[in-house]
Amino acid sequence: MILGTIKDSSRYYSLGGGVELALKYLAEHENELENLPAGKYEIDGDKVNFSVSEFEAAKPEEKFFETHDEHIDIHVTVKGTEWYGYAPAEKMTSEKDHSVEKDNRHFYDKCEDGLFFKAMPGHFLIFMPEDAHKAAFTMQEQGYVK
């Protein structure tokens, strides 16, 4: 897992062409992201794309950890305060479902070996396939997040 700021994102281009394309897009469009409506957007077809979501942050126990076998997942909090959970995927045991088509594995562990932190606008997180992660929740008052 990597936590960084969009303004310093060029440091992570060496992770690969898709990561570089995604981070360049974020840096070049950072001021426009807040105005994008919810939906899926393509940067390089199905190879590099992103989704914009808007939601009320949930309680941590209402969310699950997930991993992706085939892709790297980059998260950006554009508006509001979002909390994240991280744990090594090898420590996860209670897989509830797996979708090969969507490249998602969901885990409902509480995960004693994990850590929890908040991300503010202007930060991004990169989760590799071995990084189980939980998003879209809050440890404080619930509120709007984009």
pLDDT of amino acid 28: 95
Mean pLDDT of 117-145: 91
Angle, CA of 13, 16 and 21, to the nearest 5°: 65
pLDDT of amino acid 93: 81
Residue 50, both tokens: 């992103």
0.85 surpassed by pTM: yes
Backbone angles phi, psi at 11, to 5 degrees: -65, -20
pLDDT of amino acid 35: 94
C-alpha to C-alpha distance for 144 and 120, rounded to whole angstroms: 13
